[in-house]
Structure 1
């Protein structure tokens, strides 16, 4: 089941009764996911009321949610110049979420902010379904339920309920990777393109499609199959999916570049104005080093342990024989998050879409007795709810 040939095997488009059957199987995972996120919202509401804050405002009208709402209402072109000369432009925010906010607000009596929250909540259920389907296909139903529940119970899981783009991106990315696993290449390309319109890390989904396709063709050629046969027959639609996959990401990247007057570096310049960019992890390493050498040694040590755990989970996934699309996607998300040079407090949020890292834990929980597995997830969910409420009422996700 885990080798590339089997995971890239062709699959038919799921319709009608098959969709209903798939949804029925996923119902326990969706129920667990919804219960965990509802717990997080209830704790947030109580905590916020005690602090004289509004939970709804924290979810829809703070930090990046404000920028997405402004794009939905006014379009691109807004920027803020800071005292140090840096320019924060809303061109840094990819367009799919604000497009959906604008469209839903036009159809229903909703503000763009509330439309964003509805999109996020709906997309988060779609992501949970995709995670369940992935876990079920590879390791069985219980692993699928555990994977969806664990993703809901991440320490920064409250972001999945905010008017942010992480839930929408994860839903599109996870279904795209699942389509690669099942050989639905055209759907994989379409979903990868949409993911590329959602967040810069959409490049990770494109990489999963391209590298898996390349390795599949290489293996076919090594087996004596010609290119025409490799792209047809068992892998019909592969070439089209490969061509479609980068259109969303490249389209927005180049559009911003053209608007900024530099086709290839325009978007990078916009990100630079926010203090973002990629330096191979040098700035992040220096940040950890400063913590370890100063009065915040305990925080630095905790961060170092967390980083080691994340890397261990990825290595564990490799040793478990996770399929290539999952390894490429998860590894790319992890690499992009850890090598970004700005907003160090955002790194847990940036790694939120890296759901393949949770598969080893999900498989371990699936091997426990159901009562023990539920107890572990329950304890983690309570911790996540408390941390999420504390976080949003404090510094929050930058």
Structure 2
């Protein structure tokens, strides 16, 4: 009698490992543990500078996010010397994150929770960070499957490998330099979470969920343009496949028209298009949304001229924050260059590579607050470094000698610790020591 059990779509055939559940649990545990250590470091470090943990987390754009969530895009002031309600400066911030915070804060306000908007913002950021880590873990499993000798196996074949892989890529994400921003009232956690899940669904050729998540990303940040363009390329690829099969097929049936793939970029563009149309109408007197960006935040595409000028004048900088910002731009540019070889050799999939390169190009090719670059480049670093971490875990998993396996495991663990130490130090320097906006 055959007693074997058929594995489900998210289950490894070798051991019955439930990959989505395992990655979710590991991602949540590692994220919460890493975040707790980050909070302790920030609290102790901030106390030395007479700053509470709340003051450390509620800096710069966090004020804008919470004020927009509480009052909308006008009717509040950001400084005592400001007399007119803010409108044109505030429209630079997309509504996805503030609206979600308002939804979570509403029942708290009814229950008279103190500082409800701030508490709700921390809840939204924390949940989004856990979802982000889970998405990164699932994306890593998919990359593992694509690079494996048996693409149909569904992922790593044993629970230990899944745990190590999820742990490694979660540490890569949440322990990164400026990773503390994921926990702050910033939109980074929400945007990164929907980005990695959109790419996961894209790799699985589930185009409609990818399009819906891209729409959410477009309501959260203007850089969702990178995802929309990636969906456009995916639609072209699917149309080419359909057309080629139709041309070459004789008596064999031709697959259906790829309507989902073609619809995905259209759906994905709705969020950003709707907000830009609304913002343009509100600040039409100064030239629309992009004019407000330029006027209020000196942000505009200049093909990297401002970045090069800033590096020439501030590297190495007198302040540590200048040096960190400069190195972040230089190292990401080098990582982008190396990634071309990774793409050519098949070590990174174009669906992951393309949005990372576009995002890095948008950030490095624009003017604006240069000290914000370490956090704005988090997503390109994550996407381009993710395949490298997957390969390191694969090397550990395929080591043939027990001594080699132990050494590889120690190297992975040491690398994770050093990565977190670097990440915590950069976060502290930029939030507590450095005096300018991040």
TM range (shorter): 0.7 to 0.9
Match of 1:244 in 2: 267
Alignment of 1:189-268 (within 5 A): 189-224=211-246, 232=257, 235=258, 237-261=260-284, 266-268=288-290
Which SS does the other structure have where 1:237 is aligned? Answer: helix
Distance in 1 (CA, whole Å) between partners of 2:255 and 2:229 is: 19
Match of 2:59 in 1: 62
Distance in 1 (CA, whole Å) between partners of 2:365 and 2:138 is: 30
1:71 aligns with 2:68: yes
Which SS does the other structure have where 2:222 is aligned? Answer: coil
Offset of residue 25 of structure 1: 3.5
Distance in 2 (CA, whole Å) between partners of 1:242 and 1:19 is: 34
Offset of residue 22 of structure 1: 0.9
Match of 1:329 in 2: 355
Match of 1:309 in 2: 334
Q: Structure 1, residues 88-130: CA drift from partner, whole Å, max 9, x if none?
A: 6111100011111111111223521221111011101101111
Larger RCO: Structure 1 or Structure 2 (Cα < 8 Å, ≥ 6 residues apart)? Answer: 1
Based on CA coordinates, which of the two structures has the bigger radius of gyration?
2
1:358 aligns with 2:423: no
Offset of residue 289 of structure 1: 1.7
Distance in 2 (CA, whole Å) between partners of 1:242 and 1:184 is: 13
Distance 1:397 1:212, change over 3 A: farther
CA contact (8 A) 2:178 2:374 kept: yes
Which SS does the other structure have where 2:427 is aligned? Answer: helix
Match of 1:318 in 2: 343
Larger deviation, residues 298-307 vs 181-190: 298-307
Distance 1:101 1:251, change over 3 A: same
CA contact (8 A) 1:281 1:339 kept: yes
The number of equivalent residue pairs is 378
Distance in 2 (CA, whole Å) between partners of 1:251 and 1:65 is: 24
Match of 1:342 in 2: 368
Q: 1:127 aligns with which of 132, 144, 165?
A: 132
Offset of residue 46 of structure 1: 1.0
Q: Structure 1, residues 367-396: CA drift from partner, whole Å, max 9, x if none?
A: 242232012101221222233223211226
1:111 aligns with 2:135: no
CA contact (8 A) 1:327 1:356 kept: yes
> Which sections of structure 1, spanning at least 5 residues, go unmatched?
1-10
Match of 1:7 in 2: none
Q: Structure 1, residues 131-173: CA drift from partner, whole Å, max 9, x if none?
A: 1101111125444442221111211111111110000000011
Q: Structure 1, residues 26-79: CA drift from partner, whole Å, max 9, x if none?
A: 4334323332222211111111122211112221x2210110111111111357
Give TM-score, length-normalised by structure 1: 0.85
Which SS does the other structure have where 2:378 is aligned? Answer: coil
Which SS does the other structure have where 2:34 is aligned? Answer: helix
Which SS does the other structure have where 2:368 is aligned? Answer: coil
Superposed CA RMSD? 3.3
Distance in 2 (CA, whole Å) between partners of 1:48 and 1:266 is: 39
Offset of residue 331 of structure 1: 1.2
Distance in 2 (CA, whole Å) between partners of 1:320 and 1:397 is: 39
Distance in 2 (CA, whole Å) between partners of 1:205 and 1:305 is: 24
CA contact (8 A) 1:80 1:87 kept: no
Distance in 2 (CA, whole Å) between partners of 1:33 and 1:44 is: 16
Distance in 1 (CA, whole Å) between partners of 2:254 and 2:96 is: 36
Distance in 2 (CA, whole Å) between partners of 1:126 and 1:31 is: 12
Offset of residue 364 of structure 1: 4.1
Distance in 2 (CA, whole Å) between partners of 1:114 and 1:225 is: 58
> Which sections of structure 2, spanning at least 5 residues, go unmatched?
1-7, 145-155, 157-161, 397-407
Distance 1:148 1:230, change over 3 A: farther
Offset of residue 262 of structure 1: 7.3
Distance in 2 (CA, whole Å) between partners of 1:145 and 1:294 is: 35
CA contact (8 A) 1:146 1:365 kept: no
Distance 1:364 1:20, change over 3 A: closer
CA contact (8 A) 1:190 1:244 kept: yes
